[in-house]
Each structure stands twice: as structure tokens, then as C-alpha cells.
Chains A and B, each alone.
Chain A
Amino acid sequence: MTVVEGVHIDEELIPILVEVSDPEIPVLSILDMGVVRSALVADKHVHVKITPTYSGCPAMDVIGDDIKKALEKKGYTAEVELILSPAWTTDWITPRGRKALEDYGIAAPLDAEADKDVLLHGKRLVKCPQCGSTNTKMVSQFGSTACKAQFQCNDCQEPFDYFKCLK
């Protein structure tokens, strides 16, 4: 498990939390996504702090419920708190998370500079998750969920989602 700086998750909770995923991107564990900021256990009671990817992300309520369910199944009681600061960034997605996104058909976020070049100046840097070509174009800055943009590959013609860089 890659631990992001500033994140505190008690060791015994990791195997449980890693099983909880984003309902809109089921292949991606919430730990790899970086939305869990802390999970501390005391007397079988767990206090979990999660942070939303986007303010209006409708997945947050479901994620909160899923965390509670997963922990209760293992004999814990749990409370989930939503925190806004520090604000989530795509940098918190772990290398394993990025790989999971790519395998699922979603292009992983580029760094902020490259992201700007793509979205503002139409540079071809986003790699098609189907055929690997970077000969791709943006169809729309907004995609199927708040965190994604719509792209299309000019080589294999497949449309795909690109996870927007958020910093």
C-alpha cells in the first residue's frame, strides 16, 4: 500500500477498506483513489475521514455507507466524517490506482502542465487506454462524471474517458 503523506490509516483496517470501491469506478479501491484521509480505531470503534473528489460527487454518500457496512461486517462500529481540507487532488491516486483506471479503460490524469496543454491547446498527450496511441482528441471537457473528460482515439476510433487532473 502506498501511503500518501498526511494520511493515517491503522494497519488492521487496510485489508477491509481496500475492498471498498468507488461505485462509479468499481475497479478502483477508495484507498488507491486517495479519498480516505484517516481511519483510526479505538475499542473496536473506527473514525473514518473521507474527502470528496468533486464537491458535488454523488458517490460520496454511497462510499460512506459502504465503508460503514464493510467495517460493521468485521465487528467494528464506525462513523464517517466528510472533510474538505486539504482538498483532494489527482496526485493522491496511487500508481496501483492509475494502473487500475487504465485497465478499466479510463485514461489516468496527466500532470498539471500536460493537462493544461491537452485541454487548452489541444496537444495530443493523452494515451488511448484501448490501443495506446497518443493520437487522441478531446470531445468535451466534461464527461460521464464530474471527474472525467470525453476523448476519442483518432487511430482506433474508440471513445474513452480521461480522468481530469485536479490540483
Chain B
Amino acid sequence: MKNTDLYNYILGIADNTLILGQRLGELCGHGPSLETDIACTNISLDLFGQTRSYFQYAAKLKGGDSTEDSIAFLRTERQYVNVLLVEQPNKDFAFTIARQFLFDVFHHLFLEQLQQSKDVNLSAIANKAIKEVSYHQRFSSDWVKRLGDGTAESKERMQDAINDLWRYTDELFHTTDSDLVMIKEGIGVDVKKFKDSYYQRVNEILEEAKLEIPESKYFQKGGKKGIHTEHMGYILSDMQYMQRTYPNMTW
């Protein structure tokens, strides 16, 4: 394949939206209230829609009998390159919100830059996706504030979730070899450039939510290289079940 770096780069973006979409989809019928249930699955739907656009493009680059479905369903764990943050379990609603918030702030900043990509397909997808992600960010930020500045119980849970997931934030700013090639060509986004803005935005919301900003300097990484946490296998066994059981099935 000629465009291996571009292909890898696209997977690096789309595996995040795929796996986070899958996690949120698990809440369908299980959200803490009807409204939040619908919100989480709506966000999931947006993320899956974006994933489809990315994977359709990736499948075209790969050629042969590659399709958006084969990319989504027929890879093994080590071939998924999403960040560890998005594969973390829902646990309680505070965790779901904290994970979403820490990702949404990144996602919005990332798409802002991707809109300027020299690759017309990627800039078009970014252009579309960023409108949706503004709503996601608004939703998750609102809930961080509501839970953080809520009851003693909700505050404690929200703080626990932020403390626990904080270690996965640094990986958002790691770059792979393919990322570097794409950045050089003006196709990819140099994530390091907005790392400061990321923490600044996150910290502003946490302060508004009367939560403490974690001070831990220990960060976990691996997802972007295909080395995942123990949760990933369970996600895939659930997500890939139909395709593995009935190969090539279609709806």
C-alpha cells in the first residue's frame, strides 16, 4: 500500500471514536436516567458516524476487499491504536462523564486543527465532526460541574473519576512515526502544539466544578502502539461477536 502512513494515521483518529462510541453504546437502556441515557447514545451515534467516514476513506486507501466493516471488526487487539482513555469502563456515571470530558476537550482542539489539513477528505470530516463535538463538550463539561459542585457524594465520585482517569491524559499528546510523517506533510495535526491549551481548558472547568486538579505526574501509555489495558479484549469480544460468529454477515 502506497499510503501506509496516512492509513495508520486515520486509524489513530478513528479507533478513538470507534471504541468510545462502543463504550457509550453499552449504556443504551442502562443510563442513570432517560435523558442521560439518550444523550450518551446520541453521542455514541455521532462518534460512530464519524468513524464510518474515516474508515470508508481508510478502506479506499487500502484497496482490495477492505471495507469500513472489515477495518472495524476484523482486526486483533494489537492492531487497534486507540488511546487507553477511551477504552476505560463506564463504572459509574461520574466515570463515564470524566472519560467523556477528558476526551471531548482534546477532540475539539484536535478537530479545530484537522480542519486545516491538506488532505481534503480529512478536513471535510473534521469540518462536519467539530459541530457535533461542540455539543458533546458542552454536555460533558456541564455534568462535570453539576456533579463536582453537587452533593458530597457526587463530588467525591466525580473527584475519584478524575483522579483515576488523569493518568491516561498524557497519551493523547504522544505521536507515532506515522503521525510525524503526516504532520510533516501538513496532513496530520501536531497535537503537542495544543497540549497547554488542553490542560488549561480542563483545569478551568475543574475549578469551576470546585474539584481538585490532580497533581500526579505518573502517566500510562500504550494504546497508540496497540498495547492495551485489560478492558480492551472484553470490548472487542462484544463488538466483534457477530462478525466472528457469522463471517461476512450483513444487515
Contacts and interface: CB of A to CB of B under 8 A. Distances in A.
Interface of A: 52, 54-58, 84-88, 119-120, 139-144, 146, 150, 164, 166-167
Given A84-B124, A141-B139, A142-B42, A56 B48 contact: yes
Contact of B46 (A56, A119, A144): A56
Interface in B21-67: 35-36, 38-39, 42-43, 45-50, 52-53
B128 A84 contact: yes
A interface, over-half SS: loop
A85 B131 CA distance: 13
A66 B123 CA distance: 29
A150 B46 contact: no
Interface size classification for chain B = 20 to 34
B10 interface: no
Given A140-B39, A150-B35, A55 B138 contact: no
Contacts of A58: 45
Nearest to B127: A87
Nearest to B33: A140
Contacts of B38: 140, 142-144, 150
A140 B35 contact: yes
A54 B127 CA distance: 11
A88 B43 CA distance: 18
A66 to B, nearest CB: 17
Given A55-B129, A140-B39, A84 B139 contact: no
